[in-house]
Amino acid sequence: MSRFKQAKPKDPHVILAEVVRTERVTPNMVRVTFGGESLRLFEPLGHDQWFRLFLPRAGQQALRLPTRSSALWYAQFLRMPKDQRPYVRNYTVRAFRPAGAAAAAAAAGDSTAGASSAGAALAHPELDVDFVLHGSGSGPASDWAASAAPGDTAGILDQGIAYTPAHDPDWHLIAVDETGLPAAAGILASLPRDARGHAFVELPTAADAQHLDAPAGVEVHWLPRAAPGSTAQTPHAPHTAGTGHTPGTAHTPGTAHALDAAHLPDAAHTPDAAHQVPGRLALEAASALTLPEGRGYAYLAGESALATGLRRHLVAQGMPKSDISFVGYWRIGHAAAG
């Protein structure tokens, strides 16, 4: 379930991208960096930019992709024999670095940039995508990312951004679980440097916190579900880091917030059993917030109960529905189709 007005890309293309490297950025997140000349066709939009990710099925000799970039891609997908269809999931851009010297200079100061782009011009663009890991056999995207290697390929079809307030917000509210972390990171980095507000980010463990380039006036609240020292994985979440809608439905880069004592989760925080349910901590923490004065804008993403439950709370507090963008990326116990 989702509600938002999207900003669509001007000229999207179905792109065949190649893995150039992977990195285990936190205990429960792996970053896959795509490269290749075809990425010159990708238009970076910032914020929560998302795209369709096409992945090969086991046993397929080649990745078969649709040729249409309009809504007709799905009709093409359905006409493919089932054993030749790719898996289709929705993912969010974590970082994009265009080719050229200027891009390399920007990347050198970006904590999300890969080592190969620091201090040297990129020969081709690079796109970082973060995948939440759920354990072997938990889903095609998580399994693919865990074993991805340079030279592997995947298809990409840009879908635009959903963080599109119709007004200039006085404050911003972001509430996500780990599957919404890439979207939150992109939104925070894209906000004006004088923006203010709150971002609630729920994680499997404190060690899963990442560097976020948030404005100084936006307070980031890290909310780990597991006790300190735990390496617990996210329960099977078919929609990971911006993934998991069925293929034909909508999916829904100032001052850097370093992971210091002011922004890391409370080491003494030990959630009870109820808070082991993904989304529960973020829902409760954001619901306890006294909304600031003025007209705000909210972005809610992750497990369905988090997105829909917090939206209901905000509407009850008097926030207009048009000022809330919400998307249930996944539901506990429900596998994604496609």
Q: Are residues 241 and 96 in the same domain?
A: no
| Confidence label for 240 from pLDDT (cuts 50, 70 and 90) | very low
CATH number at 156 reads 2.40.30.10
Cα(78)–Cα(94) distance, integer angstroms? 29
The average confidence (pLDDT) of the chain is 83
Q: What is the pLDDT of residue 248?
A: 40
* Count of structural domains within the chain: 2
Cα(85)–Cα(338) distance, integer angstroms? 9
Residue 110 has pLDDT above 70, yes or no: no
Measure Cα distances from 311 to 14, 29, 61, 85, 275 in Å. 34, 27, 44, 35, 19
DSSP 8-class letter at 290? P
Q: Are residues 177 and 146 in the same domain?
A: no
Q: Are residues 202 and 295 in the same domain?
A: yes
Q: Which residue, 160, 180, 214, sits at the end of a domain?
A: 160
DSSP 8-class letter at 310? H
Q: What is the pLDDT of residue 251?
A: 37
| Contact present, 125 and 100 (Cβ < 8 Å) | no
Residue 136 has pLDDT above 90, yes or no: no
Q: Are residues 136 and 193 in the same domain?
A: no
Both tokens assigned to 272: 């009870």
Cα(251)–Cα(245) distance, integer angstroms? 7
Residue 195 has pLDDT above 90, yes or no: yes
Instruction: Give the list of residues 6+ apart from residue 288 with CB closer than 8 angstroms, or none.
Output: none
Q: Are residues 227 and 289 in the same domain?
A: yes
DSSP 8-class letter at 266? P
| Confidence label for 7 from pLDDT (cuts 50, 70 and 90) | confident
Q: Are residues 313 and 198 in the same domain?
A: yes
Q: Are residues 185 and 139 in the same domain?
A: no
| Contact present, 257 and 211 (Cβ < 8 Å) | yes
- Indicate the pTM of the whole model: 0.84
Q: Are residues 53 and 75 in the same domain?
A: yes
* 62: β partners: none
Q: pLDDT: is 23 or 263 the higher one?
A: 23
Instruction: Give the list of residues 6+ apart from residue 97 with CB closer than 8 angstroms, or none.
Output: 103, 104, 106, 107, 110, 113, 117, 122, 125, 126, 127
Q: Which residue, 97, 128, 160, sits at the end of a domain?
A: 160
| Confidence label for 2 from pLDDT (cuts 50, 70 and 90) | very low
Q: Please tell me the least confidently modeled range out of 145-149, 234-238, 294-298.
A: 234-238
Pairing of strands 50-55, 29-35: unpaired
The pLDDT tens digits of the residues spanning 270-316 come to 556 556 889 999 999 999 999 999 999 999 999 999 999 999 999 99
Both tokens assigned to 197: 């507000």
Instruction: Give the list of residues 6+ apart from residue 54 with CB closer than 8 angstroms, or none.
Output: 63, 65, 66, 86, 87, 88, 154, 155, 156, 157
337, part of any domain: no
Q: Are residues 129 and 191 in the same domain?
A: no
Cα(136)–Cα(144) distance, integer angstroms? 10
Print the domain residue range for 91.
2-160
Alpha-helical regions (H) of the chain: 72-79, 101-108, 140-147, 181-190, 280-287, 304-316
Cα(51)–Cα(36) distance, integer angstroms? 17
The pLDDT tens digits of the residues spanning 54-99 come to 999 988 888 999 998 888 999 999 999 999 999 999 999 999 999 8
Q: Is 51 helix (H, G, I), strand (E, B) or coil?
A: strand
Q: Are residues 20 and 146 in the same domain?
A: yes
39, part of any domain: yes
Nearest by Cα to 89 from 238, 189, 228: 238
Q: pLDDT: is 243 or 335 the higher one?
A: 335
- In single-letter form, the type of residue at position 29 comes to M
Q: Which residue, 160, 185, 217, sits at the end of a domain?
A: 160
335, part of any domain: no
Q: Are residues 130 and 177 in the same domain?
A: no
The per-residue DSSP string of 291-309 comes to PPSS-EEEEEEEEHHHHHH
The pLDDT tens digits of the residues spanning 241-267 come to 444 443 443 333 233 344 443 445 543
Q: What is the pLDDT of residue 60?
A: 86
